[in-house]
Amino acid sequence: MTQVNEVVEVSVSQLSEHSLQSQFSPDMKTKDWAKFLTEIKRNGILQPLFATKGFKVIDGRHRLKAAKELGIENVNVVFVDIPENEIASYITATKLLRDALTKGQRACLVLNLHEYEFRSGQGKRTDLSQKCEKLDTHKMLAEQASISKGSMGNLISVKRNRPDLYDKVFDGSYSIGKAHAQMKLDEAPPTTEEERQEELDERSSQIVKNISKGELGQAQFDESLPMTSPHNTAVSLRKAALSATATVLNNTGKLKEVEEIILKKCKKALYITQVLTI
């Protein structure tokens, strides 16, 4: 790439974002953008934009957007002589070196560039359908993004199966783990009310059994002491609390009989869950 270092003042109306910017340059979050816009309004655009000779901005898309939004007529630009097939890697390198990105965003940029170069015939990507080569690819991309191989594998899976969740990782609102977990959760078959009730009943029964088992190892009444003694009082209070808990758990099934009353206040499943939590 041959770079022309001369800074030239250019009319904002002549400039536009390069088409690859959206794929390799995440938008700022709303809060960050508001802060950025305030700083530009106060201090102006201090750093020049970088653009191709065709007036396509390849570094400084947010500065260009701010200039247009604030009505700034002219900005300083450095024009670079760069082949079209190197622009994607140029934008990506700029973002990875300078911008404050989440780990997920960095990984998305690495993955996006990798797939872009493969599609355009610039790079050699291992066939993701082959197990051994897939692992090698995951490792290579993970090292470039400074994340674990497993996380890169999860990100690739999300990109392939849930582009909507992948977009959330790219814009920084989701981590890789959150997006992958959401994908798996959405893939799981819905739980019916009967299955949920059976699960709650099983949990209730198990808790009662654990209470009874745990009681065996606890201090018991000392008949040589008055019932009002501190020791016996503590034992009495513990047994009363455990008994009340067991009673509540054993009667959660009866909530079905008063479903109409419960539903007037809240969802039955939520009500039962609250009781079990108590």
Q: CA neighbours within 13 Å on the CB side: how many for 227?
A: 2
Query: How big is the chain by its Cα radius of gyration, in Å?
Result: 31
Cα 235–chain centre separation: 48
**276 Cβ partners below 8 Å, 6+ apart?**
200, 203, 204, 207, 249, 252
The tens digit of pLDDT for each residue in 220-257 reads 877 888 888 888 888 788 878 777 776 776 666 555 55
State the fold for domain 1-100: 3.90.1530
Q: Which helix (H) or strand (E) holds 57?
A: strand 56-59
DSSP state at residue 266: S
Average pLDDT over residues 35-55: 92
Which pairing describes strands 16-17 and 74-81: parallel, antiparallel, or unpaired?
Answer: unpaired
Q: In which band, very low, low, confident or very high, does the pLDDT at 49 lie, cut at 50, 70 and 90? A: very high
- As a whole number of angstroms, the distance between CA 139 and CA 128 comes to 12
**148 Cβ partners below 8 Å, 6+ apart?**
142
DSSP state at residue 58: E
The tens digit of pLDDT for each residue in 116-170 reads 888 877 555 444 444 434 557 888 899 988 899 999 999 999 999 999 999 999 9
Residue 130 pLDDT: 43
- As a whole number of angstroms, the distance between CA 117 and CA 234 comes to 72
- As a whole number of angstroms, the distance between CA 167 and CA 151 comes to 16
Token pair recorded at residue 32: 């960050």
Which among 132, 103, 99, 128 is positioned nearest to 114, based on CA atoms?
128
45, 66 in Cβ contact below 8 A? yes
Token pair recorded at residue 253: 């099934």
Q: In which band, very low, low, confident or very high, does the pLDDT at 111 lie, cut at 50, 70 and 90? A: very high
Provide the whole-model pTM.
Answer: 0.59
Select, from the ranges 11-15, 92-96, 258-262, 263-267, the one with the highest average predicted confidence (pLDDT).
11-15
Q: Any idea where the domains of the chain sit in the sequence? A: 1-100, 102-188, 193-277
Which among 75, 67, 28 is positioned nearest to 49, based on CA atoms?
75
Percentage of the residues of the chain whose pLDDT score is greater than 70:
78
In DSSP terms, 202 is beta-bridged to none
3-state secondary structure of 59: strand
